[in-house]
Amino acid sequence: MSDFLLADGFGNLADGAHVAATDRSPLGSQWTGYAYDFVLTDRSDGRKWLSVATTGRVGLQSRSLGNASTAAICFRVYRGDATACVFIKLVNAAGTIGWIGINASGAVTYQNGGYSTLGANIVATSTDTIPTTTETFVEVRITLGDSAAGSVSFYMNGVLSNTVSGIDTCYLTGRTALQDIKFGENSESAAQCIIAGWKYGDIIIHTATSPIGDVGVYYRPVDADGADSDFTPSAGANYQCADEIGPDGDTTYNESDGTAGHRDSFETAGVSAMSVLSVGVLFRARKTDTGTATLLLGAAHGGSEDQSTAKALTEAYLTQIEFFDVCPSTSAAWSAAEVTAAELSYEVGA
């Protein structure tokens, strides 16, 4: 029986299209969860804001984060008022590790316990604060460790605020490997989690040894077919069945009979002059029978292409994501012009 592969849209908020994880480590990952209460709004520069109409827990959950002992959680936040909140939860297979929040003064906090009481068991607090009605890019770099083996560093808009060392960063002994991040979750207080009137964006997770600075996550849906169009579109051109930000499921899609090597490639509008850390390729795909089916994601420039390993598909749509840190034609960091000229692709695996 053949495997039919459907590639639909640019991705889904709950599955990674509007958040990103850098591929500098095992933390290049997808997102899942229960994020449908987020409202997505555009910024003028191609980035996105996430917000909620009603304060509560709405949650993006990362997955397959590689059990790292050191990681950085980055996000941009527009602090709409002086409400204190805890809205990022670190977990592994054994359970909760710790929580990140913002106190009423605007300082970023890390607590290793007492999640049922806002502000309990705080072991690290940023020296600098986030003003209200102002957007700030925050990077919280955490080394997990029991007793006095842990540390937390806070960066505001790319500048070090302070480092707190010699602390216990784990809720329970032995939880020193990070597996998942839950953005918009604090286990207990829905009234002090994701706050209405605040905005969140540029969510990045990485394990690079240095802070990444004040960066943004830019979204470019496909806007033209590239060199390859082997899949059959449900209507119109192939790119028109894969260009939704907020996918439409089986309403529009591109379909293959499962032939290995079948591929579609696409162009995008690219980016303006900027430094580029990584290019992420995201598509939603599923199979339509019980056989094995895989998909490879690729980025091509100047006649050269880099591809991901084969990604297994299920019969439910999932966002498939891969990050390419270097331009395939130069093996060096991407330039903005190279991103603009690149073609992005998916291909049926063997």
As a whole number, the mean pLDDT across the chain is 83
pLDDT score of 164? 98
pLDDT score of 16? 30
pLDDT band for 68, please (50, 70, 90 cuts): confident
pLDDT in tens, 280-301: 888 888 998 888 899 999 999 9
pLDDT in tens, 1-16: 233 456 554 433 333 3
Domain 18-206: which CATH number of 2.60.120.200, 1.10.15.40, 1.20.1730.10, 2.30.29.30: 2.60.120.200
Confidence check: pLDDT of 27 > 90: no
pLDDT score of 82? 96
Confidence check: pLDDT of 168 > 60: yes
Confidence check: pLDDT of 21 > 50: no
Q: Is 240 helix (H, G, I), strand (E, B) or coil?
A: helix
pLDDT score of 5? 55
Q: Phi/psi of residue 344, each to 5°?
A: -110, 145
- Architecture, CATH, for domain 5-11+220-348: Sandwich (2.60)
Domain with CATH 2.60.120.200 in the chain: 18-206
pLDDT band for 23, please (50, 70, 90 cuts): very low
pLDDT score of 199? 92
pLDDT in tens, 96-144: 899 999 999 999 999 987 555 667 889 999 999 999 999 999 999 999 9
Confidence check: pLDDT of 252 > 60: yes
Q: Phi/psi of residue 14, each to 5°?
A: -80, -10
Position with higher pLDDT, 170 vs 30: 170
* % of the chain with per-residue pLDDT over 70: 84
Instruction: Tell me how far CA of residue 103 lies from CA of 58, 115, 214, 317, 319, in angstroms.
Output: 20, 14, 22, 38, 34
d(CA 187, CA 210): 31
Position with higher pLDDT, 191 vs 212: 212
pLDDT in tens, 49-66: 888 888 887 766 665 566
d(CA 221, CA 218): 10
User: Are 61 and 180 a contacting pair, CB within 8 Å?
Assistant: yes
Confidence check: pLDDT of 273 > 90: no
pLDDT score of 6? 60
Confidence check: pLDDT of 310 > 60: yes
First to last CA, the chain: 15
Instruction: Tell me how far CA of residue 265 lies from CA of 133, 231, 327, in angstroms.
Output: 42, 10, 16
